[in-house]
Structure 1
Amino acid sequence: MSDLVLLTGASGFIAKHVALDLLTSGYRVRGTLRNLDRSDEVHAALLEAGGDTTRLEFVRADLGGDAGWADAAAGCRFLVHTASPFPARQPRDRFGLVPVARDGALRAVGAALRAGAERIVLTSSVVAVYLGHESRADHVWSERDWSNVDGPGAHAYGVSKTEAERAAWAAVEAAGGAMVAVNPALVLGPLLDRRTGTSADVVAMMMRGVMPAVPAVSFGIVDVRDVARAHVAALTATDAVGHRFILSGGTRSLLQLGAGIARAEPAYRRRVPRFALPDALVRAAAAVIPSVRTLVPDLGRGKQFDTAPAETILGLRFRPPEEAIAAMAKSLRRFRIV
């Protein structure tokens, strides 16, 4: 039986950790890249992290086009689809990222199904679970919940993840295939190279002292190593098919995130945020700044997530958020990003 896994978006923060876990677990990995010029960079990062890169290969395939997907999926036993557009600046149109995210997911999933893949694992997000709903402070968000893409606070990235996941489930169901979705909260943890994503950029901004005060909002946080482990476990876990696994080690506020950085890296304690902005000021800013507008529905409210299925079916034991925060802060220093 083939042990080959097609991993899309192989240069991403989560994807590199998934690739490392796959290689460590004995799989062969075929990673897709929009530009093969990045292949040496990803190869070097995985080799430095201890991955057996003799079982690693790369192919060119872009979410925005059909070319390359059939060849990429040929002979693969599994698909792990992590690729998704996540621009630093969100478009004003909340549906602006949907065509690339949804159609790209359908390209990857369709190619895997036609190639006879045994199982598909899709990287979704908790923003496909809780966005766009009115105040539900006591609600425990679970795999049964879906974001309301037309509701308040639904932003372009969250809408794209919701629509892409829904489309993938529909395509797999229509083809009689097997799929698992992985829905992580804010992903922190160690970097494998100097490439940073949005989550690392937030931590780096705090460490540079450009965020002395922050809105009173809270997020679920999960370590990228636990996210990688979940993807690999989902490939073969007996009862995993049909589930959406929410991943979170706990909820922390932006102020608590800053405090975690300060504990891990005391030299930065005077740079991290130490004050919460008044909610009224955040609401006023939201009237003119679209990126702030998405935070308003979450002001002063934490979130509770049902992670029991990930623990019981995938066998996860989540690292606490403080470990993920510390690991990211230390790696940002290690790679001299801050």
Structure 2
Amino acid sequence: MTNDIEKRPPLWMRWLDLNDKALAVLLLAPTAFLLALIIVYPVLKLGYTSFFNLSLTSGLPAEFVGLDNYRLMISDPVFWETTWNTVLITLITVPGALVVGLALALLANLPFRTQWPVRLSLLIPWALPLSFAGLIFAWFFHSEYGVVNDVLNRFGLPGVIWFNSPNWAFAAICLTIIWKTSSFMALIILAGLQTIPRSLYEAADVDGAGRIRQFWEITLPLLKPSIAVGLIFRTITSLQTFDIPYMMTGGGPGTSTQTLAMYIHQNTVSFLDLGYGSALAVVMFALSMCVTAVYLRVIRTKEQD
């Protein structure tokens, strides 16, 4: 009995001898705490503030109003217009960035002798700050001395006053976002291309499959996980679009190019209406989570099939 007690390790050593589950919990606890501190708490605080009438310009204390901010939102035409603009930008730029990014990734994956210039060209748009990209393309689409109108004039076509027309301004913003975000999609897809074994293409060559058939039956199916990851991140950031339209048009003409993120900024920063601005932010957060849940559900269903 005495020998058994003496053979038992001390308490501090038993704490170090953990099973896999306990060790995983112990190692993930600091990260979980940090995420709760910088993500969960602000989101909960945002939802809490959305139930109050809190306008810093009024000088009055915060007043609990329940769902009044959300009722006001339903009857707010600017909210619906900015939400539709955000959804439309997402529907246009996400597929556009996917198509352009896929083409760029396939180009960068070709067996060049020196591939680094091609791959470096993919990093430049991705590394460029969003606001800086918006300023650059605002100059590109300038009606008097912009590059785009200069190219049109050289081909004998009339120039366009891009930012005076809602449709042309919206098109300019979408083209800019596609240029900026296609490099992100290309980098993710290029990483997926690097994982496809060359032996599959060699076997397809032996069987007589052409390049197009190899793309549809080998490349594209094996790229689905990479494409799904890229679409999730690209869709979430598209729903939060702010910098590029803010720098290019400021939401104009009128509110025709204003996004939901810009409307949130206007209410919280310009008008100092924290209650209504928080309610708008809650809606945008919920929209992002719903889109993410749909993507994950589709991916899980395909994996089970």
Q: Which TM-score band applies after superposition, normalised by the shorter structure?
A: under 0.3
Larger Rg: 2
TM-score, with structure 2 as normaliser: 0.22
The structure where helix makes up a greater share of residues is 2
Higher relative contact order (CA 8 A, sep 6+): 2
